[in-house]
Chain A
Amino acid sequence: MSIQFGNPDRPNSYIGKTVPRPNARRLVQGRGVYVDDIVLPRMAHVVFVRSPFAHAKINRIDAEEAMSVKGVLRVFTGKDIAEVCTPWVAVLAHLKGLKSPPEHAIAVDRACWVGEPVAAVVATSRAAAEDGAALIDVDYEQLDPVADMMSALDPQTPVLHPDMGDNLAFERQHEQGDVEEAFRTAHKVVSARFVTGRHTGVTLEPRSILVDWNPAEEQMTAWHATQAPHMIQTVLAKHLDLPESRVRVICEDVGGSYGIKVHVYPDEVATAAIAKIMKRPMKFIADRLESFSSDIHARDHEIEAKIAVGEDGKILAMDVDDWTAIGAYSVYPRTSAIEGNQVVNLCGGPYDFANYRAKTTVVFQNKTPTCQYRAVGHPIAVAITEGLVDMAAAELGMDPVEIRRRNMFKDDAYPVTSPANMRFEGLSHHASLDKLLELMDYEALRSEQAELRKKGIHRGIGIASFIELTNPSPFMYGIGGARISAQDGCTVRMDPDGSVVALSGVTEQGQGTEAMLSQVVAEGLGVSPARVRIITGDTQVTPYGGGTWASRGAGIGGEAALQAARALRDSILEVAAAMLQADQTKLDIRDGAIVDAASGEARMPLEELGRIVYFRGDTLPKGLPRELVQTRHYITSDYPFAFTNGVQASYLEVDTQTGIVRLLKHWCVEDCGRVINPLLVDEQIRGGIVQGLGGALFEEIHYDADGQLLNGSMADYLVPMAAEMPDMIIGHVETPTQESLLGAKGAGEAGTAGSPAAVMNAINDALRPMGAQVTEMPFTPERILRALGSLKD
């Protein structure tokens, strides 16, 4: 059975339309339920004492004074927690050579970054726990920190984890073709050093967990702000020695995630361990300072890269030497080697060329661990690639659009394998670029730029093509041994009155998953989306699934929902055919009623069928299957990942006296396959662009040379705000994946993948006549003035 997606007038045509989000009204009315809104009887609060040093031995922890604070119940050290909670090691077998030492929920005898938990104080209120925490006396002995990335492997640098032998966590080199020869004989070679600033995801709702251990039932319930409830269920079960069936993870509303909430955090696991030890509900809500020091960081990379081009602008070779420092531990269970690995996989992504070499070197250091954050590795790889392509175009005197046209994979070239060995099923680089140029009126913009230049106004236009990895198969984590599910499931059930409940393993973080699922189920079944109640985020009731990550919700979770809905439709029609003594193939369900498929004539409302099945089953033929509930699971299998593509453009103005960049406008055309809900996709793209613009212009975690964290509040970590954001024009090209009936790929990370590179290229386009260039993010006004040579000291 296929769906006539091409026909907008088909019955139940909810896929492809903007329908209201089922949870919007609840959230707007203040009826959302976040972890911190939940209060349980006998609940206590835990606050963590965190290391003020980048690297220190913990000699002794004196809790006597803290215990005297009114309301303080108990203090835990790393040793106390280790008695009930085993440590973890975050490696993956397919990332060969990746190493990381065992990490405890609370540091046992050594703290390895500013912000690492070293003790926990439990009290009847958060305030009392903070009063207690301030009085915990930790006798630290400072150790030499490893703070600098590029010297981490030097022989004179101390080894952070002596058992590991050196500070190298992971290294991978990929080589295709004859790179040396291509560079030796090329018409032009352009090289540059790129830096992407360490930053983090800044979720509106901080990391939060409330854990209740019921010893009578031996049941643990965790209300958790997470993207991956089943993964957390598995982790808590494993490290606290419980059967998975006795761990229930519930996500009510989650206030933004961006990858920050898909990892296992020591303080959250410690909270679960403490709940189990104390046999009472335990709440931990990170405050903003804790968020900056203990949420994962990302994007801390330094890269030397070069590109070789022919006279005709054809890319002959690319060579990328990427370094990243991941903090003191690889983060469990996804590991911290993925970002560097993605840089290797994604550089040069849009282009058809032969010779490619890329290496990533991943080192340990005494800073907050880094891990996967929205668009993992993409903004880095796109900045390297698109930065080099623009520099090569300038060197050749060629228009940046023209050089891209000459190198992008042709739209009819698919399936194709990239020089990085990525397999592409179907992309639309040329169609997307054409649409972008039309939307932005490229030629007119170029003349405006030239006119204004004469008046001393320096504007720039930057273009960035990109690919985005979505719909991952087990090739991402599963094959490496991680218990992270790439498949996902959905159960769709019809209740007696004909209303529908769908339980899905993918989760809602505020991005609109539930709206997407409601339309898919509605169309698959033949009822209006308003009749479909979506339940996500409860491991005890939803089918096992992976949750939200790598832009998989619509592509994987949506397809499971569609198949489950289609299966339920078949079950309903089988019953209807028996009741109506009709041919099942001649019946359809439209707008909540059984109809004659050919004429559309109404035969019976679903509530009548529900009444008979649930209350008068005696009137149906004996043996007639009557399950008005169906479950389907879906996994991709033809391709390891469903790649999407797109292209962005930025138009901006540089104040060459102050260095301030003013964003004037931004465009993005992307191809996420089937667009299920145009408004949701556009807003994903816009939000993603904004996060990318944050990394390009504002966001940066600062450390000093001793690994001391220098900024930890919203006053000195600058997130992008509305006033500085440009208008964004979003367009789409649709190349559905053939792997699924739905044809959807992911859209959640495309905006973030491409916007930093577009801005970098636009700034450099503005600066080029002055002979200046910036390649170190964020592009602060000061960095721009230094590139212009305006500052002498």
Chain B
Amino acid sequence: MKASAGGYARASSLRDALEMLAASDGSGRVLAGGQSLIAAMNLRLSAGDFLIDISRVGELAGVSETADSLRIGALTPHAEIGRNPLIRHHATLLSQAVEFIAHAAIRNRGTIGGALAHADPAAEFPACVLALGATLHVEGLNGTRDIRAEDFFQDIFETAIEDGEILTGLSVPKAGADERQVIEEVARRSGDYALAGVCLVKRTGGHRVSLFSVGPKPILAKNAMAALDRGDVEGAVEALKAEIDPPSDTQASAAYRRHLAGVLLRRAAARIEGGNA
């Protein structure tokens, strides 16, 4: 199929992009790495949008640090997330996740902002930022908003970003000295979206467990977290299975996804205890 775009313009700055978005009367669509949007357009799942290309907006790229957090620009490509020393040191969950995302060419172009804004329930980054307790930053012509990851993901492909807003980046708390972060997933082939996946963070304040590909959005498994805090891994697995309501599709049934989620949590917990995360 041939894509059918309603127009295209390259934004020179964030302000420029926001103005174009406002002027587009609802038909504007932000184009970042294009690794999800162009694929959807090529299937005519999305047609007629006016594309506002933010890929050259320098102020949206790059990683910086404050005393207790990292600030990651929305345009940071997956490949950079994977190799950036600050991220590898302070938020290793994100760099580990990159190895599971697609293939080299896609990781070079796809951006973390695009992945978060796209909010594919099977994607790794949304679940990672949920497990890390990150804050997402959006900006519109009326100003900026900070949104907790817990409140950001709302439904399949739906986020708290409002019309006229652009995701500018995210802040991730720096890992504590004894913090452990691991991601586990099962996919049919390397680079495929996961059949199910688990992120596990163990920090001084307690465990955080998030799951992907088991529901319409990434899920924070609070009962499983409480069980892990009590040191009860099997209890956490049971709680986890009760906390999710996975879909069935041609790749996997709900029952299989639920089973996998338990296996993956067990493996993640074992890795954390083994200390090799």
Contacts and interface: CB of A to CB of B under 8 A. Distances in A.
A126 B2 contact: yes
Contacts of A713: 43
Given A126-B2, A793-B255, A289 B43 contact: yes
Interface size class of B (residues with CB under 8 A): 20 to 34
Contacts of A134: 44
Contacts of A130: 1-2, 4, 44
Given A658-B263, A791-B256, A791-B259, A710 B43 contact: no
A224 B58 CA distance: 47
B192 interface: yes
A524 to B, nearest CB: 45
Interface in A703-731: 710-711, 713, 715-716, 718, 720-721, 723-724
B50 to A, nearest CB: 17
Interface in A429-470: none
Given A658-B263, A723-B190, A792-B255, A711 B250 contact: yes
A724 B1 contact: no
Interface residues of A, number: 33
B41 to A, nearest CB: 12
Contact of B1 (A289, A702, A715, A781): A289
Which of A127, A659, A702, A710 gathers most chain B CB within 10 Å? A659
Given A130-B44, A718-B192, A790-B259, A702 B2 contact: no
Contacts of B186: 658, 660, 781
B256 A782 contact: yes
A698 B251 CA distance: 10
A131 interface: yes
B189 A721 contact: yes
Contacts of A29: none
Interface string A215-237: 00000000000000000000000
Nearest to B259: A791
A98 interface: no
B259 A785 contact: yes
Nearest to B262: A657
A137 interface: no
B251 A724 contact: no
A127 B2 CA distance: 5
B191 interface: yes
A130 B2 CA distance: 8
Nearest to B253: A782
Contacts of B263: 657-658
10 contacts: A127-B4, A658-B186, A660-B186, A700-B250, A702-B250, A723-B191, A785-B259, A791-B253, A791-B255, A791-B259
A536 to B, nearest CB: 32
Q: What 8 A-B pairs are tightest by C-beta distance, nearest first?
A: A127-B2, A723-B190, A782-B256, A702-B250, A793-B255, A657-B263, A791-B255, A658-B186
B156 interface: no
B250 A785 contact: no
Interface in B170-221: 186, 188-193, 195
Interface of B: 1-2, 4, 43-44, 186, 188-193, 195, 250-253, 255-256, 259-260, 263
B260 A658 contact: yes
Interface string A641-682: 000000000000000011110000000000000000000000
Nearest to A718: B188
A631 to B, nearest CB: 45
Nearest to A134: B44
Contacts of A715: 193
A497 to B, nearest CB: 46
B188 A698 contact: yes
A287 interface: yes
Interface in A193-207: none
A710 B43 CA distance: 15
Interface string A123-146: 001110011001000000000000
A289 B4 CA distance: 17
Contacts of B4: 127, 130-131
Contacts of B260: 658
A685 to B, nearest CB: 22
B243 to A, nearest CB: 17
B190 A721 contact: yes
Contacts of B43: 289, 713
A125 B186 CA distance: 42
A649 to B, nearest CB: 23
A660 B1 CA distance: 34
A720 B190 CA distance: 10
Given A657-B263, A781-B252, 6 more contacts: A658-B263, A659-B256, A700-B250, A711-B250, A723-B190, A781-B186
B189 A724 contact: yes
Contacts of B253: 782, 791
Which of A700, A702, A721 gathers most chain B CB within 10 Å? A721
A63 to B, nearest CB: 19
A134 B1 CA distance: 11
A716 B191 CA distance: 13
Nearest to B266: A657
Nearest to B193: A715
A224 to B, nearest CB: 22
A460 B252 CA distance: 24
A287 B1 contact: yes
A718 B192 CA distance: 9
Contacts of A287: 1
Nearest to B267: A657
B101 to A, nearest CB: 14
B53 to A, nearest CB: 20
B242 to A, nearest CB: 14
Given A130-B2, A716-B250, A723 B259 contact: no
A724 B190 CA distance: 7
Contacts of B44: 130, 134
B253 to A, nearest CB: 6
Interface string A13-35: 00000000000000000000000
A713 B193 CA distance: 14
A505 to B, nearest CB: 36
Contacts of A711: 250
Contact of B189 (A126, A289, A723, A791): A723
Nearest to B39: A715
Nearest to B251: A716
A698 B192 CA distance: 12
A724 B191 CA distance: 11
Which of A287, A658, A721 gathers most chain B CB within 10 Å? A658
Contacts of B256: 659, 781-782, 785, 791
Contacts of B189: 698, 718, 720-721, 723-724
Contacts of B250: 700, 702, 710-711, 716
A130 B190 CA distance: 34
Interface in A99-147: 125-127, 130-131, 134
A126 B256 CA distance: 42
Nearest to A782: B256
B147 to A, nearest CB: 29
Interface in A770-789: 780-782, 785
Nearest to A658: B186
A791 B251 CA distance: 15
B145 to A, nearest CB: 33
Contacts of A790: 259
Which of B1, B43, B192 gathers most chain A CB within 10 Å? B1
Which of B186, B191, B259 gathers most chain A CB within 10 Å? B259
Nearest to A792: B255
B186 to A, nearest CB: 5
A285 B44 CA distance: 17
B97 to A, nearest CB: 17
Contacts of B2: 125-127, 130
B244 to A, nearest CB: 14
B132 to A, nearest CB: 25
B45 to A, nearest CB: 10
B249 to A, nearest CB: 8
